[in-house]
Structure 1
Amino acid sequence: MTSSPGGEPSFLNPRILIPFLLVSLIWGSTWLVIRDQISEVPPIWSVTYRFIIAAAAMFMLVMLRRLPFTLDRGGHFWAILLGVFQFSFNFNFVYNAELYITSGLVAVLFALLMIPNAIFGRVFLGQRINGGFLIGSAIATVGVGLLFLHEYRTSPIASGQVILGILLTIGGILSASAANVMQALPKPKSYPIITLLAWAMLWGALINMLVSFVTVGPPVFETRPSYIGGIVYLAIIGSVVTFPLYFALVREMGAGKAAYSSVLVPVVAMILSTLFEGYQWTTLAAGGAALAMAGLLVALRSGKPKLPPVQASAKDARPD
């Protein structure tokens, strides 16, 4: 395996680079598809349908790969936690955020995922955060602030709703980050990733279904072809294809470095938002996007936070 001078997996290794680019490009496109799902169907039911299909497809993949189908009690504990944070909280926050702000802006804000990943990695995994990462994150945060200043000035909806969109997105970021860091813990890494994800998606779908009945009532479905096609695309391409690749990167490289895919995701999302949602660029928005991307690249170039020596010597304790 190709490694960097510090012994870390190199992005130039095709085993790392290809899934990294594939995940970034696919997830960049899913933001626009999610936007189309925001219709007469309550968002939580759309999330439920997505992960019912995704879980079924993931279990088919488990059988085709002849992987273990069942989990022990500990495995179900982690699958439930992943289902709650990744496939329930995260996606419900995101779908609802797109009721108030554009998909491209949600994606740009989500590009800051590496920041809570690094903080949670420091708290729960003992990873150090270096100065370059802090500088890059600060630059990116300023850029995102400029983007939302632009949104305030140009949005046809009330500023309070824009704030709500921001807060919902932050909720999604924190939920996704919690799930990311779980994948870097030794115990979840001991289970086959596809089996764990299949159960996590199933638990997430069941939780979403229960909450849907309680909060918005019986199922609502739309027969519009683009809605149905969007559900299938998000379930198969946006979930079954990408999550095993992404969480494999998390296990290989650590949660912080895997989240560098967020550098490319908003670029794809903003381009698609411009083409299909009529997003209007201004000097302020362009400057904010440039600062956000520049800051994230500075953070990326700073390298992965190092583990303390006591953990770095124990292979099972390493997040990468």
Structure 2
Amino acid sequence: MSAPAGRTRLATLLLIGVTAVWGSTFFLIRDLVETVPPADFLTVRFGIAAIVMFALFRRQTLALSRRDLRIGVVLGVLYGSAQVLQTMGLQHTDASVSGFITGTYVVLTPVLGAVLLREHIRPVTWAAVALATAGLAVLSLRGFAVGAGEALTLLSAVLYAGHIVALGRWSTARAAVGLATVQAAVIAVVTGVAAVPGGLTLPADGGQWASLLYMALIAGAGALWAQTWAQAHLTATRAAIVMALEPVFAAFFAVLLGGESLTRRMLIGGAMVVTAMYLVELKSTPRDPDASAADDPPVEALHHDV
């Protein structure tokens, strides 16, 4: 049975809010990683998120079943590994190319769902996926070459897609808070392993700590919970298309707060991604097979998270 239409719409709006928050962090991260290595930044960010979440949601986290704990660990490993690979890839490729390749999880999510879970993806959804991907290319690409950096980034996109698919299958509203807490802790451990060789570097001043705390509490803890809850009520493909708005919001905040200039590419690419989201939203109803297949997944079903 599909989730009620109102709850599905709420989940979509919540996921849009998550992508807006993620998009607002791009220019903050760009400034912060000039002095704090990316792996160190991720470790501290998700470490703080995990500590705060466990303090607030200790009862819900401890109430998780062993199965839910295993799911949380798998989801955290997927997401943490994707973060590390994306960071490694970014050291060998342009940020614009990295942004586009990472965004290909929009395509990889329905592909993984169809191949691994035998999900049926409607033609209109594939059209929205294609339009969103083209929009990401217009928004991000300034040239393209294939090398080690691009390969690492593509692998990270596969893991992000796997995380989205897993969340769509395993996430339930009941366990969302606990799952998000376990994920944050596991992500901190995974990124911490990458940070160990060079030692842990902390932010140098109050401004950097303020940025990191915003990313830990709002874009970390809050966003992890919101995504986990939202994907209990949305298909993985639908969620991926909505999350393609992240670079659109990143461009918006870069112009609004980061001092960048608004370009024609931003307007055209952003419009294409927004159109793709509206296309899949307008054509999806609780009775659609593409919407009902994963909006209210059975608890025992295999679940995937980003």
Pick the TM interval, shorter chain.
0.7 to 0.9
Verify: 1:220 aligned to 2:213, yes or no: no
Show the counterpart of 2:180: 197
How many residues are matched? 299
Show the counterpart of 1:60: 55
CA displacement at 1:168 relative to structure 2: 5.3
* Cα pair 2:8 2:295 within 8 Å, conserved: no
Cα shift readout 1:35-86 (whole Å, capped 9, x = no counterpart): 22221221111100011101101101213xx325165554443222212111
Stretch deviating more after TM superposition (218-227 or 137-146): 137-146
Return the alpha-carbon distance in structure 2 between the equivalents of residues 240 and 165 of structure 1.
29
| SS of corresponding position for 1:251 | coil
CA displacement at 1:308 relative to structure 2: 12
Show the counterpart of 1:237: 218
Return the alpha-carbon distance in structure 2 between the equivalents of residues 244 and 119 of structure 1.
25
Residue of 30, 36, 39 corresponding to 1:35: 30
Show the counterpart of 1:181: 165
Return the alpha-carbon distance in structure 2 between the equivalents of residues 194 and 80 of structure 1.
14
Show the counterpart of 1:23: 18
Residue of 207, 213, 221 corresponding to 2:190: 207
Structure 2 counterpart of 1:174, one-letter code: V
Show the counterpart of 1:155: none
Verify: 1:90 aligned to 2:85, yes or no: no
| SS of corresponding position for 1:252 | coil
CA displacement at 1:270 relative to structure 2: 0.6
Structure 2 counterpart of 1:183, one-letter code: L
* Cα pair 1:127 1:308 within 8 Å, conserved: no
TM-align CA RMSD: 3.8
Residue of 226, 236, 246 corresponding to 1:265: 246
Cα shift readout 1:169-213 (whole Å, capped 9, x = no counterpart): 544432222112212335x64972222222222122122222321
Show the counterpart of 1:10: 5
In 2 relative to 1, CA 62–98 (structure 1 residues): closer, same or farther, beyond 3 Å? same
In 2 relative to 1, CA 25–133 (structure 1 residues): closer, same or farther, beyond 3 Å? same
Verify: 1:45 aligned to 2:26, yes or no: no
TM-score, reference length from structure 2: 0.79
Residue of 129, 135, 146 corresponding to 2:127: 135
In 2 relative to 1, CA 26–172 (structure 1 residues): closer, same or farther, beyond 3 Å? same
Verify: 1:293 aligned to 2:274, yes or no: yes
* Cα pair 2:3 2:296 within 8 Å, conserved: no
Unaligned runs of 5+ in 1: 1-5, 153-158
* Cα pair 2:235 2:295 within 8 Å, conserved: no
CA displacement at 1:123 relative to structure 2: 2.6
* Cα pair 1:128 1:308 within 8 Å, conserved: no
* Cα pair 1:38 1:98 within 8 Å, conserved: no
Return the alpha-carbon distance in structure 1 between the equivalents of residues 124 and 90 of structure 2.
32
Structure 2 counterpart of 1:182, one-letter code: A
Unaligned runs of 5+ in 2: none
| SS of corresponding position for 1:67 | helix
Q: Percent identity?
A: 21
Return the alpha-carbon distance in structure 2 between the equivalents of residues 147 and 164 of structure 1.
23
CA displacement at 1:89 relative to structure 2: 2.0
* Cα pair 1:9 1:253 within 8 Å, conserved: no
In 2 relative to 1, CA 136–7 (structure 1 residues): closer, same or farther, beyond 3 Å? same
CA displacement at 1:109 relative to structure 2: 6.0
Between structure 1 and structure 2, the one with the greater Rg is 1
Show the counterpart of 1:124: 116
Structure 2 counterpart of 1:194, one-letter code: V
TM-score, reference length from structure 1: 0.76
Structure 2 counterpart of 1:232, one-letter code: L
Show the counterpart of 2:233: 252
Cα shift readout 1:12-43 (whole Å, capped 9, x = no counterpart): 87743552343232222122322222212211
